[in-house]
Amino acid sequence: MKKKSLPVTNLGTISLIMIFIVLCMVTFAALSLSSASRDMRAGQNMQAHIEEYYNVSNEAETLLAQADRIFADAYAATADDNEFYRIVSEQTSPFAKAENADGQFTLTYQLDINDTQALLVKLAVRYPQQVKMEDADSFYKILSWQVVHTDTWEGDNTIKLIQ
């Protein structure tokens, strides 16, 4: 009786395919790990930025409430619109910049979010008769509530060709 021998080529082909599959799986695992790590860092950076923004936004809301009290007190203290705007300008000067241009009295204040960004809030202050005419519920109208960049970008386009 003759024994059947297994062909060597079939065993080698299966081993090569298994090695290739294992290498592919290790490569995909490494890529998945690096992608997950990068996504985690991006998520943490986004979380920190959102927390910074909302903390500053809360401060801006506090200043807005303080300004609203100043508007109500100024209205109670005077009957003249020019006097009203003068009192508002004086009492809000520690935290806001007042401007009276184009027939509109505005208050602007800026709060730093981080080293490169700030929250800029701009309000149009309404005289109480204007509030009644427009059927508004407050002495101000928010013109802008936006994040602005506070630093300048300096591009470095130099290339060192020879050391």
The verdict on residue 156 lying in a domain is no
3-state secondary structure of 105: strand
**Between residues 79 and 108, which one has the greater pLDDT?**
108
Q: Determine the Cα–Cα distance for residues 48 and 60; give it in Å rounded to an integer.
A: 18
Please report, for the chain, how many H helices and E strands are present, in that order: 3, 4
The verdict on residue 154 lying in a domain is no
Residue 118: the pLDDT is 94
The verdict on residue 123 lying in a domain is yes
For the segment 13-20, the average pLDDT, to the nearest whole number, is 90
Task: Specify the DSSP element, H or E, that contains 28.
Answer: helix 8-77
The verdict on residue 161 lying in a domain is no
Residue 10: the pLDDT is 61
Is residue 105 a contact partner of residue 85, using CB atoms and an 8 Å limit?
Answer: yes
Total count of domains within the chain? 1
pLDDT tens string 41-50: 999 999 999 9
User: By C-alpha distance, which of 114, 109, 110, 113 is closest to 99?
Assistant: 109
The verdict on residue 155 lying in a domain is no
pTM of the model: 0.71
pLDDT tens string 96-133: 887 877 778 888 999 999 999 999 999 988 877 777 77
Q: Which domain holds residue 74?
A: 38-149
Cβ contacts of 95 within 8 Å, gap of 6 or more: 63, 66, 109
CB count in 10 Å sphere of residue 113: 19
Question: For all residues of the chain together, what is the average pLDDT?
Answer: 86
Q: At what angle do helices 8-77 and 81-91 cross, to 10 degrees?
A: 130
The verdict on residue 17 lying in a domain is no
Residue 7: the pLDDT is 58
